[in-house]
Structure formats: C-alpha cells, structure tokens
Amino acid sequence: MASHYELKSAANGQFMFNLKAGNGEIILTSESYKSKESALNGIESMKNNAADDAQYERKKAISSQPFFVLKAKNHEVIGRSEMYSSDGAMEKGIESVKKNGPAATTNDISR
C-alpha cells in the first residue's frame, strides 16, 4: 500500500485528515476543519510544505517526549505528529513526512 491522506469526518460536523505511511501507520494528524473543502485545502498545503525543513517546528511535550508540528508559510499549523521516544525517532518521522507528504494520494472516507 502506498502512502496516502485519509480524509474523514470529525466531531461537530468538521473534517480532518491523517497522513499515513505505506505500512498504514499515521505519521501526521491535521487540525480540524469546518468544511471538507477547507480540509482538502489543508492537504494541498501539506503537499506544498512537507518537503521544506523550515516549516517543521520541533517540540517537547511536558513529559519531555519529542514531537513535531508542520506549519504553512503563513505560520498556521497544518498538523502534528505523534509523541516519539527519542529525538532521533522524531527526525525519522519528519523525514517520512518529507518523503511521503508531497506525492501521497487522498482517500476520502468522510460522510
């Protein structure tokens, strides 16, 4: 299976997407969007920003676990990663988004 964006319905009639690697693992989860069109625009923003290392903000949770946030050029958050066990694992996650994000197809499972 190839990497893909999974567009789905979220709470309160909103929409969100996950970027999934070829093995089905979620590598980035989007923010919630008020409309499907906005979520699709978010996917396009992901594709346009994923390869640019400057758009990634590397962070630490209160528990000291590393994670990252991908931002658009306007500094709006597009999505965030899971929590990682180490900085090295987080960097591998970023590399996976850089590799998979720009060319991933979209699978719309929203209602």
10 Å Cβ neighbour count for 58? 13
- Residues of the chain where predicted confidence (pLDDT) is lower than 50: none
Q: What is the pLDDT of residue 11?
A: 85
Q: Which domains, and CATH codes, for the chain?
A: 4-108 (2.30.29.80)
pTM comes to: 0.92
The pair of structure tokens assigned to 62 is 């209160």
> Could you tell me which residues are beta bridge partners of residue 15?
9, 33
Q: What is the pLDDT of residue 2?
A: 83
Q: What is the pLDDT of residue 1?
A: 67
> Judging by DSSP bridges, how do beta strands 4-9 and 105-108 pair with one another?
parallel
10 Å Cβ neighbour count for 99? 15
